Chain A
């Protein structure tokens, strides 16, 4: 099922973006290519030092340790020449309500696209891939922490902020950890209802 999923992913990816790339668990990528893969990972640049550093210094170690790292499991997007186009890291998490009840969700810890391939629809494609994974394992809600400057992009996909926010105030804020906006996506949304039941 896992291989089928990735084959399906490659086909959709190529059709929607024109890029011949595949998605791999980062540990599989490392074990298959070793030195070359580390070189490729080190060369990755998404214009965000923190995202680059996580991929280079933490993601492989977390995946190789066969335990769930704090930030989850990373999937890498590469072509046949080991060029890294992007990656995402997801982890099972919980939404905690005011009355201390909890609800399971899939949390996107990180999502990054190489600066050479931004604005080509890759990021949206990766989010859709995460939605498909969530559906397969029965998670209804996807959560993430968005930087203020990325808020509009996630909102366009359909993510909603948990807490009410003032857009003007938010747009003036800098992209720091203290300004993160906690957002969620409900897989039972109107679009998916239409897609699934009106076809």
Chain B
């Protein structure tokens, strides 16, 4: 018999902080890259 999926666990405070920090850093890098590309495109 296949076992049922467990409900996703609530993250600890440490895991929440780590996750948010990493996610925000990546968002920032992405935004900067997009900004750079837009700037290059506007020059062309």
Residues on A facing B (Cβ under 8 Å): 50-51, 53-54, 57-58, 70-71, 91, 93-100, 107, 109, 140, 143, 145, 160, 162-164, 177, 180, 182, 184, 186, 188-190, 193, 197
Known contacts A98-B16, A99-B16, A188-B30; A163 and B11 CB within 8 A of each other: yes
Chain A: CB-nearest residue to B17? A98
CB distance A53 to B29 under 8 Å?
no
The count of residues in chain B whose C-beta lies closer than 8 Å to any C-beta of chain A is: 26
Query: Chain B contacts of A71 at CB under 8 A?
Result: 4-5
A97 to chain B, nearest CB (A): 4
CB distance A107 to B30 under 8 Å?
no
Query: Chain B contacts of A186 at CB under 8 A?
Result: 22-23, 26
Question: Known pairs A57-B2, A197-B33, A197-B37. 9 more at Cβ < 8 A?
Answer: A51-B2, A96-B10, A97-B16, A145-B6, A163-B15, A188-B26, A188-B27, A189-B26, A197-B34
- Contact pick for A93, options B8, B14, B34, CB 8 Å: B8
Query: Chain A contacts of B44 at CB under 8 A?
Result: none
How far apart sit A163 and B10, CA to CA, in the bound complex (Å)?
Answer: 11
How far apart sit A164 and B15, CA to CA, in the bound complex (Å)?
Answer: 8
Main SS at interface, chain A: mixed
- Contact pick for A193, options B4, B16, B19, B30, CB 8 Å: B30
CB distance B5 to A50 under 8 Å?
no
